[in-house]
Structure 1
């Protein structure tokens, strides 16, 4: 036993000693290399580079002449020779210039300048002379202009990313043939449309494994090509281009190693071709947001490695093949927003044990499973809106322990919410049960601290609103969206708003709420939209709402309010103000003109008096073109960026006399509606400055005077209603310029003269001009007399004006007589003048004849 142990001990030493010796040499070598100092030439080059940069965040503060440059932040050296090999300058907010001193870093192989801001400058040409580079990342660095051909000289480059820059473009791609070692190539958002042979060029790189040409303005996949040889390709992203044709057959020749194919939003047409199914190793396929039609092929069941299958937002029809239920690795299945039909049952999910995201919304499907069905999957996201699920509440949801988003609106569910539901929502973030026929006492609702959106609009929820808002069990909520509109809620608004300070969107409209708007609502400092429309709320709008500086939409219409408060002008971020049908008295305050961002002003059907403020021209959002600003679109469609879920604002507006609901299209509206009030005075001429206004309704008031002469400069107008006022004078000829008009109503005023001739104005029915006795011309049946036509030249004057006109005409007659005899008498009595005159007339006649004949010959 002892001998055996000794033998083992010796063998262990024999085995261990070389390893220990090698490790000791390694650590000694590493320690020695760590003492190698930075090359002085490299150090000075980096200091020159630093001086050319603008360093807003001081990320280069460690770059000092008194410190070894290999120890500087974001700098890495080759420890064997002490030369700078890598610069990781990404996400640094650097700007300024990129110094040519980089060329002195002869051993630099890794350069990352992504996520900086070089202010639309061009990519430096000298980068094409840094032959040791293997990794170059200039993505999201705000470069612009022509991508330099010199980059094609980097024959050692394996990674090149220029994605998401400003207006990069190429004139051709033949220079890329020099990138013989390239493995990763990303030109996303660059304009490549000038190169028609892009596909043949890209397919010649033998080592290329990932190609990303997202949003590159490509317009053809060259469907006539029979063969494309991507020998090593694993990832191909051609999303958001403009191919406008079918998926080409050459996809079947793609590398058998292809793992990911992304053709999202690329204007593809036709059927999903069988060539896709030759890609046996495919794990990710995105064909969403195209115009694909026909059925979903059952051959998808053969792609056994598929993890993500996205076919949503197309025109696919037929049923969902049950072969999809065989994809045992599938995690994401999106087939929503198609024209599918038929029933989805347990068989469609037979082996989908790894499914986490399911989207079948708006696909025309019916979900029909047994009440005791327990799915094989555990979903995190369930988008099952606008498909038939009801009438019973789906009991299978109770088994889903990790669900974060439940979108189940318009699903035909009726009856009471089951007792388990509200306690089940312990991990959920978004609950959308809107547009069903669900009954529930709001006091039974329990919200866990994870819930950010509760949308129960258009149901039959009932009970006092204060009971819900003030219950202790939900006081620690983090709710950002609460929409209980169009239900049966009752009682007064509570004073418990201090527990709801995370709210961004609040809609309690169309319920049975009563009482005043509580002052405590000023605690909602994050609020962006406040909708209390169509209730029985009365009194003042509390000044505490001034604290809600982020408010962009206020809709308190269809209530019983008092006046428009003067402090409304302090809500400078306001985009939509709707106070229609709220019994508001008083006048429109001048302070409303301070709302320069306002896009919708709806004060219709109240008891407002006084004049229209002449300062409306200060509302610049209705006067200036839109700048590229996502903030309003983001407000209208509030998106949770960490998940695929959103809340869409909705407002009832009547721009053309008939109320309709505006959702995503709200961002397109520019509206002023002051109709059905007691406003007097004239229409301010300054209103013509609102050149981007689309809908103008001033009807049913007591307005006098003329229609503003320059109304034709408001060329975006789609609807103008000035009916049932006391307007006089002519219709301005400039109205002929309003080529986008689809509604015009000038009826029942005191307008006179001929209706100006234009394709647009004559296209409206005569009823739009009726009730103006002195108005004539097409489309009215009344023809214009000479006197009525003259009304277009001058308005009817007073007696004094007539006397002045008579004197003018008498004077004109005397002058004409005097002038006539002064000239003609001289010609009659002086022969030389008479001869010269007739000679001149003969010459003019000859010139006219010759000119006419020359033009006739040309014709």
Structure 2
């Protein structure tokens, strides 16, 4: 072979001079290139190339061996660029051309490449070519390899030109846009020698899954991954016996996995991961021979059923990934036969039962030990129970073990780790395990990742941790540790990157200053730590959560400017919030709530332009809200409640168009409710302005808040009528059935600001967190509102809480109130409402709290259905009301003297029923243990009828008894009052 040059290569052969024409062509070609590192310096004069005895150039390799990842690195070489001159056409013998990993700045692929008729290898990958692929590339009938990988801006159009590449064996167009190439299957079928087809991430869709005749029978590698328009696995795929490698991951495939894939005799690797709707029965799928399969990735699909014992017959398997499917049942002990297995992931399934106590087939492995080559073993997020078997401690090559988020219980001893000398990552979090090791135990491993959240490690701080010198990530949260953090811990682990010791009972103080120079995640929340907070250098923190402790003193001045999550809530911190807080340019969550901060809100907070959540509630802040807050355009939730803030709301708030929560309650704000609140807040779910000094009328434009679920304007000085337009609040018209945990910000999925809210309902204050998104509420209590109860409000059939108490409302309760089906709390007390209580109110089956006291209501209380559950206090102060549960009878009530005797008789009947009921329960329990077995032994269908009948009888009996008891209790109360 004759070599022109290769970037970074200066080795040469003792060869004769090149042909003069080839030498001239190369010099001209070089003159068009920009060579910042002068790697082509040897291309000059007579020594421009090295040739063999023919004198012809057959190969040009100018790829950058350091590739584009290192193009600006001091280690690597900068890319070639410039013009590719047509003088290359004069190299008539050129068979190999590699220009990959250079930068040709969006130049089109030269059309004259189609004239290089002897070319067998063409690699233009990662070289920044743009434009249309020249169709005359199809003239290269001798071309065997065409690599256009990651030329993102190429326009391929159709692929008909490919049919001319009759010698093509390897086609690589990964990352090239082929979305318009609807004929790609038929075109590829015209390439009889094709062995590798890499069309990953090409935007393919609408392909022909059926072929009348199959011509590419030599195909060994097909990569169609990340083509989201491919809806099904083609039928012809299972007919290519030469197939070795298949990748159709991330394609959005539907349907069933063809069982024929397991019969392909040469298949080594199959990746169908992350298609989500691709299904198969495990018992059927793994029944196939899978003769040579080594890598099998079916994660992120809908595999179902139990793993069969035949799984152990796939003895060539090295990589098995079934993560996040719907696999059920237990783990077969036959996995012990998989002696070559290095990776095994069953996480995120429905695996139940316990791990097998022993594994089969261990003797067939060369080391006579279980799974001797296994490096990663993941069973997280399942429903496994029982103890951890000891054979796990015999996996000598294991590097990662993940059993987190299961129901394992029992003791973890030193034996469980006896031979895990290569262990680097251990995940046992969210189980019920107790670690019981001696105080002088020194583990055989040196882990980097140690996650044991919710395991019992305490009460003392684990001393065996001293030996772990390579720790990077440590999570001992909720681990029942109640001691102080020892000094040696801070000395040894100054290079930790992630530390979570939250939800323990840790005591004492932090080192002053705290030296953790590499730390980017520190969570010490929910402990008993005290004293000041002082960081010598917090520049690396991305998450800092010290909430729910007893820290005191001031906020440190040198908070990390890279911190995205900062929570110091629920402590005893005092002083002013420093202006330096505005230097946290990456902050997404800042929570300083429930402390003792004083002073004004620093205007510099407006510099934190990425803020999602800001909570300064329950402090002693005063002054006005800075007008600069309007710059926080990413803000989703704002809590400033329970302070001493005053003045008017800044008009710049209208810029906070993404706001979902505005909680400004319990302050001293004044003036009218701004009209702009009704404009531009299409995402606002929660608006709380209660317990301030707002005046004027409630603006009718609040009805424009289409997402509003909670409206609280209580305890202000608002006047006028309740706007009828509130009946148009769309989010309250229907029941909220989707529970979305309101949480914001944070780069770590488990560390978000979790929205919580204290609401006045059912006569008390209740805090909502996880179910907050399901709540719908209107509270206008404690104002000077007048006029009638708007009938339009009754269209809010999804409203759960309505409080209009302590106003001056008049008129009647509309009968259409029965349309408010979801109402669970209704407070109309201390108004001037008159007329009768609508009988339709008894149909409000979810109503749990009712207060109509201190009004001018009259007539009989509709004492039926749900209305029978309320006491007399719900109606107190209405002199015109009568009937149960009030002691005052209504005119015309039956005064029959024999009624009492009848009641006594009924009471006696109830007593007899009670006795027979309890007797029947005892007999039913005994009989119920025997009858099902007898019935099931005869016929299964009979058992279904039997149990349906029993359920019906028991239900009717319980309902009848409950109603009689309720009625008897009410009669006794009434007689007592009389």
TM bracket, shorter-chain basis: 0.7 to 0.9
> Could you say which residue in structure 2 is the equivalent of 1:199?
308
* 1:389 matched to 2:511: no
Moved more, 198-207 or 145-154: 145-154
Structure 1: runs of 5 or more not aligned: 1-12, 15-19, 45-56, 790-859
* 1:110 matched to 2:221: yes
CA distance in 1, matches of 2:241, 2:884: 77
Equivalent positions of 1:207-226 (< 5 A) are 207-221=316-330
Closer, same or farther in 2 for the Cα pair 1:370/1:191, shift >3 Å? closer
> Could you say which residue in structure 1 is the equivalent of 2:557?
445
Deviations 1:464-509 (A, max 9, x none): 33xx1258xx647432222222223222234334532232221222
Which residue of 456, 480, 491 corresponds with 2:599? 491
8 A Cα contact 2:466 2:492, kept in partner: yes
CA distance in 1, matches of 2:391, 2:222: 39
* 1:379 matched to 2:488: no
Secondary structure of the residue that 2:374 maps to in structure 1?
A: coil
Secondary structure of the residue that 2:621 maps to in structure 1?
A: strand
* 1:697 matched to 2:803: yes
Deviations 1:452-473 (A, max 9, x none): 22222222333333xx1258xx
Equivalent residues, number: 737
Please report how far the alpha carbon of residue 766 of structure 1 lies from its aligned counterpart in structure 2 after TM superposition.
Answer: 4.0
> Could you say which residue in structure 2 is the equivalent of 1:426?
539
Moved more, 256-265 or 647-656: 647-656
Secondary structure of the residue that 2:539 maps to in structure 1?
A: coil
Q: How high is the TM-score relative to the length of structure 1? A: 0.76
CA distance in 2, matches of 1:734, 1:168: 51
Please report how far the alpha carbon of residue 718 of structure 1 lies from its aligned counterpart in structure 2 after TM superposition.
Answer: 4.0
Deviations 1:682-738 (A, max 9, x none): 444444444444433333333444545455555444434344444455555665555
Please report how far the alpha carbon of residue 357 of structure 1 lies from its aligned counterpart in structure 2 after TM superposition.
Answer: 0.9
CA distance in 2, matches of 1:571, 1:729: 39
Closer, same or farther in 2 for the Cα pair 1:352/1:712, shift >3 Å? farther
8 A Cα contact 2:192 2:216, kept in partner: no
CA distance in 1, matches of 2:727, 2:57: 77
Secondary structure of the residue that 1:316 maps to in structure 2?
A: strand
* 1:61 matched to 2:156: yes
> Could you say which residue in structure 2 is the equivalent of 1:236?
344
* 1:316 matched to 2:433: yes
Closer, same or farther in 2 for the Cα pair 1:573/1:373, shift >3 Å? closer
> Could you say which residue in structure 2 is the equivalent of 1:73?
173
Closer, same or farther in 2 for the Cα pair 1:638/1:451, shift >3 Å? closer
CA distance in 2, matches of 1:59, 1:745: 71
Which residue of 252, 257, 267 corresponds with 2:373? 257
Deviations 1:806-836 (A, max 9, x none): xxxxxxxxxxxxxxxxxxxxxxxxxxxxxxx
Please report how far the alpha carbon of residue 87 of structure 1 lies from its aligned counterpart in structure 2 after TM superposition.
Answer: 4.1
Closer, same or farther in 2 for the Cα pair 1:439/1:134, shift >3 Å? same
> Could you say which residue in structure 2 is the equivalent of 1:168?
278
* 1:578 matched to 2:684: no
> Could you say which residue in structure 1 is the equivalent of 2:765?
659
* 1:650 matched to 2:734: no
8 A Cα contact 1:174 1:201, kept in partner: no
CA distance in 1, matches of 2:214, 2:841: 64
* 1:32 matched to 2:95: yes
Please report how far the alpha carbon of residue 624 of structure 1 lies from its aligned counterpart in structure 2 after TM superposition.
Answer: 4.5
Closer, same or farther in 2 for the Cα pair 1:33/1:382, shift >3 Å? same
> Could you say which residue in structure 2 is the equivalent of 1:456?
568
* 1:335 matched to 2:452: yes
Which residue of 258, 267, 275 corresponds with 1:157? 267
CA distance in 2, matches of 1:275, 1:738: 60
Q: How high is the TM-score relative to the length of structure 2? A: 0.67
> Could you say which residue in structure 1 is the equivalent of 2:520?
404
8 A Cα contact 1:698 1:723, kept in partner: yes
CA distance in 1, matches of 2:835, 2:798: 26
CA distance in 2, matches of 1:29, 1:449: 50
Please report how far the alpha carbon of residue 358 of structure 1 lies from its aligned counterpart in structure 2 after TM superposition.
Answer: 0.9
Secondary structure of the residue that 1:218 maps to in structure 2?
A: strand
Please report how far the alpha carbon of residue 407 of structure 1 lies from its aligned counterpart in structure 2 after TM superposition.
Answer: 0.8
8 A Cα contact 1:637 1:664, kept in partner: no
Please report how far the alpha carbon of residue 383 of structure 1 lies from its aligned counterpart in structure 2 after TM superposition.
Answer: 0.6
Equivalent positions of 1:843-854 (< 5 A) are none
Which residue of 669, 675, 680 corresponds with 2:786? 680
Which residue of 860, 863, 868 corresponds with 1:753? 860
Closer, same or farther in 2 for the Cα pair 1:75/1:131, shift >3 Å? farther
CA distance in 2, matches of 1:205, 1:449: 53
Closer, same or farther in 2 for the Cα pair 1:476/1:174, shift >3 Å? closer
* 1:541 matched to 2:661: no
Secondary structure of the residue that 2:416 maps to in structure 1?
A: helix
Please report how far the alpha carbon of residue 658 of structure 1 lies from its aligned counterpart in structure 2 after TM superposition.
Answer: 2.7
* 1:128 matched to 2:223: no
> Could you say which residue in structure 1 is the equivalent of 2:47?
none
Please report how far the alpha carbon of residue 370 of structure 1 lies from its aligned counterpart in structure 2 after TM superposition.
Answer: 4.3
8 A Cα contact 2:547 2:567, kept in partner: yes
CA distance in 2, matches of 1:323, 1:619: 65
8 A Cα contact 2:174 2:202, kept in partner: no
8 A Cα contact 1:91 1:116, kept in partner: yes
CA distance in 2, matches of 1:304, 1:548: 55
Equivalent positions of 1:479-518 (< 5 A) are 479-518=587-626
Deviations 1:527-586 (A, max 9, x none): 222221111111221111111222222111111122321111211121221212122222
Which residue of 745, 761, 773 corresponds with 1:638? 745
Equivalent positions of 1:779-798 (< 5 A) are none
CA distance in 2, matches of 1:729, 1:200: 75
> Could you say which residue in structure 2 is the equivalent of 1:599?
709
CA distance in 2, matches of 1:526, 1:615: 29
Which residue of 569, 587, 611 corresponds with 2:721? 611
8 A Cα contact 2:345 2:379, kept in partner: yes
8 A Cα contact 2:192 2:218, kept in partner: no
Secondary structure of the residue that 2:327 maps to in structure 1?
A: coil
Closer, same or farther in 2 for the Cα pair 1:672/1:105, shift >3 Å? farther
> Could you say which residue in structure 2 is the equivalent of 1:366?
482
Equivalent positions of 1:686-765 (< 5 A) are 686-707=792-813, 709=815, 711-712=817-818, 714-728=820-834, 735=841, 738-749=844-855, 750=857, 752-755=859-862, 757-758=864-865, 760-765=866-871
Secondary structure of the residue that 1:174 maps to in structure 2?
A: helix
* 1:301 matched to 2:417: yes
8 A Cα contact 1:731 1:756, kept in partner: no
CA distance in 1, matches of 2:435, 2:839: 56
Secondary structure of the residue that 1:659 maps to in structure 2?
A: strand
CA distance in 2, matches of 1:396, 1:279: 42
Closer, same or farther in 2 for the Cα pair 1:510/1:113, shift >3 Å? same
Please report how far the alpha carbon of residue 660 of structure 1 lies from its aligned counterpart in structure 2 after TM superposition.
Answer: 3.7
8 A Cα contact 2:387 2:410, kept in partner: yes
Task: Report which of the two has the higher share of helix.
Answer: 1
Which residue of 449, 457, 473 corresponds with 1:357? 473
Secondary structure of the residue that 2:716 maps to in structure 1?
A: coil
CA distance in 2, matches of 1:732, 1:236: 66
Please report how far the alpha carbon of residue 515 of structure 1 lies from its aligned counterpart in structure 2 after TM superposition.
Answer: 1.6
Closer, same or farther in 2 for the Cα pair 1:364/1:75, shift >3 Å? closer
